Structure 1
Amino acid sequence: MSTWVQDVEDISRETKTPGLTGRVHIIGLGNAGTFIAHSLASRQSPPPITLLMHQASFYHAFRRKKRSLAVNYNGLDDNRTGFDVEVLHDKVWHRIPSKDEQLEANEDPDVLESAEDVPEEEGHIECLIVCCKSYMTEKVIRGVRHRLSPDSTILFIQNGLGIIEKLNKEIFPDEKSRPNYMQGVLSHGLKKQDSYKVGHVNVGSLILSPVVTGQTPLIEAEKDTHWAPTTKYLLRLLTLTPSLVATADTPAGILQYQLERLAVGCVLGSLGAIHDCKNRELLHNFPVSRTMRLLLLEISSVICALPELRGIPGIEDRFSPERLRRLILNVASNRPEDTSSIRNDLHYQRNTEIDFLNGWIVKRGEELGMKCVLNYMIQQLVLSRMYIINHREASAVPIDFDNVILSGDKSKDD
């Protein structure tokens, strides 16, 4: 297996762009981010990896884990260390020295109580892997906007669609200053077990592809695709990382995988959140089945009419309502105890990804002249449920525990 150093040298020589460092920055250490960072660190020759954390508390929790990430395979923990860390404080990134660097400088690693104690880090970011929630993407990219350039490559591994279009509109309106984009679809079965620790439930894959922007047919647009050196390096690095089981696909190919996952999220994710239930409770439920069929009629109509997929054979069959229904039922049957991420976000009073799921179907449907009224209703039901939960929590009367007398207790005045 080639080393990352050799990959950097080969790509620098091929593209005549010396100066690549090969460093990979990762934002979002949920299940996907933790697994990818751990997998890169597990290579025989791991590249330099920097974990970007938006709060000092995240780093303190990471330090309590001895600055390690863990993946549990078949009941056994595999711990990996050697990560560099940067923490955001007052809109400035600060690099936390590794434990080895601190010991060499005769510093106590436990004295770093806040990001104010460490030097600023404003270096250029070559390769950035974004694994945070879709609704957080714009915020986190703004935090590193000044460190990105047209030579940078951003890989998005997230649920939903429409994220890149939003970034282009809000942050990168100028095509000449825009970084390069890649997207990935991760199908490994992962389950969070602890902070910075995930369980590997079943083997999947990571499908990768550079992004072709615009709504022209992808089978025509991808012919003229020119890959940046950082894109080539990141794609080679990930596909040669064994535990990721990563493969490269065309933009048209990966979009179809994304649309299948979108359909699953629009149905299982949204209905699971509205009904506040697990996947198994949506099975063999006639009212849910009727709702599912009506949702899929709209979803299928929008997908089959997308101009990006024009000219690709088999689209009508692959995204027919019946095939999507079987796909969704298969996911729910194989993962009966899973709960949707939207339901979890509502439980913890966080924003949801509904605008990038059913909301995306509504938006693209309007562009195509279709009224997706049922998907619009589902989107509004999730948003209204979030509003009710937040309003209920905000209006709760706090209890003054200091003045509560428990039954059986007697005051001093008695």
Structure 2
Amino acid sequence: MGPLRPRQSPKDADFFDNIIIDTRGAAILPSLTALRHRIDRRTTICLLHPGLGLVEQLIEQVFDDPLQRPNFVLGHSTHKLSKVRDIMFSMKQRKPGALYLYGVPKFEGSTFDKSSLVYEGMRQSQHLVQLLSSTECLNVVGLPWVRFLSWKLPTLIFTSLADTISVALGCKYQEIYHNHHARIMWDSLLEETLAIISQFPELQEVPHRIHYFTAHSFRRKLQMYLAAQRANISPWIKQVKMGNNVPVDYFNGYFVQRARELGLTHEYNSMAVEIVKARVSARQTELRSDLRFRVPYMTDTDLIGGGQPIPSLEDTLELELEGF
């Protein structure tokens, strides 16, 4: 058998050079699957999603041909945006921030010779970063994996606690803070999650980052951020009410995946994933039944108002990554 070579696409093929996707996690896979015939190794996909684990799922389920696999760039934005009232599909910036980007290396763990494709992928990913950098208001910052992960983890941790428990109990954020039993769930999930993070191989060379996330001060800042939510409701609650899947696989599920790779316990995060999926499944069954005179179960604060402006998690946690 000769050496593996990338398949050459027709010159007139209508392929995408770059795709920037920022939507609900449940919509990403079907969206990219529908565009699969216009994506190849020359395409760079930037995923602006608060969770992690999407790239691995896309490689497994959509882009399984390693020689035609697109390049991936992960993004984390601290810009604060809001919708423009009465103007569909329009957004306005409430507070400027930064757009942190990380180019995912191609073929990690692969055994065949692919140096030319790796170089091609790096060059194309860097080209997208440079394109985005040309828009000054985005304030683009390219980061290595460890620094990028350090920016992602606070949101990842908070969502895996607050939104998961909100769906499980059908409650507002503030009810978690004031409910003794909900706080026990919070503490159990948090302790297991931090134990997993402390064993991440990529963090072992930067022990001060491990100390930051495992210190009592970080736990306290998460609690302060939870209290600052006041009457806010998890956006997952609305999705459950509509019978939509929520992205628990990219939050608690990500920690489960990493724990399995490291041989660590993950019972609380695994249970959290199953509880959230059970709530979604139950709601979907309710909506499908559509019995006359039967009101679907809606006592889980689906429509409770009184939401407050959401504070900035980055401001609350003060990550202090300068010089890291």
Question: Could you say which TM-score interval applies, normalised by the shorter chain?
Answer: 0.7 to 0.9
Out of 231, 246, 251, which is 1:357 matched to?
A: 251
- Structure 2 unmatched runs, 5+: 1-11, 110-117, 294-324
Out of 77, 95, 99, which is 1:202 matched to?
A: 95
Shift of 1:334: 4.2
Shift of 1:122: 6.6
Matches within 5 A, 1:329-348: 329-348=223-242
Shift of 1:133: 1.8
**Which residue does 2:322 correspond to in 1?**
none
> Relative contact order, CA 8 A, sep 6+: which one is greater?
2
**Which residue does 2:33 correspond to in 1?**
142
**8 A contact 1:208–1:249 mirrored in 2:** yes
**Which residue does 2:77 correspond to in 1?**
186
Is 1:161 equivalent to 2:161 in the alignment? no
Q: In 2 relative to 1, CA 201–274 (structure 1 residues): closer, same or farther, beyond 3 Å?
A: farther
Alignment partners' CA distance in 2, 1:324 and 1:376:
23
Specify the structure having the higher radius of gyration (Cα): 1
Out of 158, 161, 166, which is 1:267 matched to?
A: 161
**8 A contact 2:103–2:126 mirrored in 1:** no
Out of 101, 124, 128, which is 2:15 matched to?
A: 124
Alignment partners' CA distance in 1, 2:128 and 2:272:
38
**% identity of equivalent residues:** 24
Alignment partners' CA distance in 1, 2:231 and 2:94:
13
Show CA shifts across 1:294-349 (max 9, x none). 11111111112122333233232122163442342243344434332322210221
Moved more, 286-295 or 336-345: 336-345
Alignment partners' CA distance in 1, 2:260 and 2:241:
31
Q: In 2 relative to 1, CA 240–281 (structure 1 residues): closer, same or farther, beyond 3 Å?
A: farther
How many residues get paired?
271
**Which residue does 1:33 correspond to in 2?**
none
**Which residue does 2:187 correspond to in 1?**
293
**Which residue does 1:98 correspond to in 2?**
none
**8 A contact 2:16–2:39 mirrored in 1:** yes
Describe the SS at the equivalent of 2:207. coil
Matches within 5 A, 1:5-404: 123-192=14-83, 193=85, 195-212=88-105, 226=119, 228-320=122-214, 322-398=216-292
Alignment partners' CA distance in 1, 2:282 and 2:257:
25
CA RMSD of aligned residues (A): 2.5
Alignment partners' CA distance in 2, 1:158 and 1:170:
18
Describe the SS at the equivalent of 2:45. strand
Q: In 2 relative to 1, CA 311–241 (structure 1 residues): closer, same or farther, beyond 3 Å?
A: same
Q: In 2 relative to 1, CA 248–268 (structure 1 residues): closer, same or farther, beyond 3 Å?
A: same
TM-score by length of 2: 0.75
Show CA shifts across 1:120-141 (max 9, x none). x972100110112223222211
Describe the SS at the equivalent of 1:386. helix
Alignment partners' CA distance in 2, 1:246 and 1:335:
28
Show CA shifts across 1:250-297 (max 9, x none). 122112222222101101111122233333333343322222111111
| 2:99 maps to amino acid | L
Describe the SS at the equivalent of 1:154. strand
Describe the SS at the equivalent of 1:184. strand
| 2:65 maps to amino acid | D
Show CA shifts across 1:160-213 (max 9, x none). 211101111122223221111101101222334553133533333211121136
Q: In 2 relative to 1, CA 346–199 (structure 1 residues): closer, same or farther, beyond 3 Å?
A: farther
Q: In 2 relative to 1, CA 276–124 (structure 1 residues): closer, same or farther, beyond 3 Å?
A: same
| 2:42 maps to amino acid | D
Q: In 2 relative to 1, CA 241–331 (structure 1 residues): closer, same or farther, beyond 3 Å?
A: farther
Which 4+ stretches in 1 moved above 4 angstroms?
213-216
Shift of 1:393: 1.9
Q: In 2 relative to 1, CA 208–156 (structure 1 residues): closer, same or farther, beyond 3 Å?
A: same
Q: In 2 relative to 1, CA 135–308 (structure 1 residues): closer, same or farther, beyond 3 Å?
A: farther
- Structure 1 unmatched runs, 5+: 1-120, 217-224, 400-414
Describe the SS at the equivalent of 1:176. coil
Alignment partners' CA distance in 2, 1:205 and 1:343:
28
**8 A contact 1:342–1:354 mirrored in 2:** no
Alignment partners' CA distance in 1, 2:31 and 2:100:
23
Shift of 1:239: 2.2
**Which residue does 1:65 correspond to in 2?**
none
